[in-house]
Structure 1
Amino acid sequence: MVPDIRVGKIGVVLAGENIGWQIRVEDDSVNTGGYLVLTSRDFTDPHAEAFDDWVEDEGALQEYFRESGWVVKWH
């Protein structure tokens, strides 16, 4: 099954790792050829716990979502 991934949108993790966290995927192909995966407890709070990761291409991005078990509600 192909995960529902929406580049440039903010979503909330409903299932999998980090339930309740927000997620945003950014296309970084111009700079690195890959994608940035940003997670935060709350993107509107500059002091909130947040993390970033990088994957090399769309296939790696899909695998990242599958491994995390993420089901995301996108806004």
Structure 2
Amino acid sequence: MEKILFGVVGRIIAGDDASSYVKVVDDAENTGGFLILTSNRPDMITGFDNWVETKEAVGSFFAESNWEVDWKIGG
């Protein structure tokens, strides 16, 4: 499994939502888990969010979505 970066915007280059952007936020302080944000914009102003409880669940979410992410988008 590829490394998942937290707090960094990446571009989904393969799998569900290919060509969209993703950002994983550690939101333990507020919700007790992690937000997985997706957007068609690299600034993440609009989009969708999903919530999972653990870092392991983040990995499972990425695996189920068949995501391959380019974390070096420079934007």
Bin of the TM-score, shorter chain as denominator length: 0.7 to 0.9
Structure 1 runs not aligned, ≥5 long: none
For 1:34 and 1:40, locate their aligned partners in 2 and report how far apart those are by CA, in whole Å.
20
Identity between Structure 1 and Structure 2 (%): 39
- For 1:45 and 1:19, how far apart are their aligned partners in 2? 15
CA distance in 2, matches of 1:70, 1:45: 18
Task: Please list every run of 5 or more consecutive structure 2 residues that lacks an aligned counterpart in the other structure.
Answer: none
Partner secondary structure for residue 48 of structure 2: strand
Q: Does 1:60 align with 2:60?
A: no
Question: Contact 1:36 / 1:53 at 8 angstroms: preserved in 2?
Answer: yes
RMSD (Å), alpha carbons: 1.5
TM superposition score normalised by structure 1: 0.86
Check whether the contact 1:12–1:23 (CA below 8 A) recurs between aligned residues.
Answer: yes
What is the number of residues matched between the two proteins? 72
Runs of 4+ that moved beyond 2 A: 43-46
Give the number of the structure whose residues are more often helix, by fraction.
2
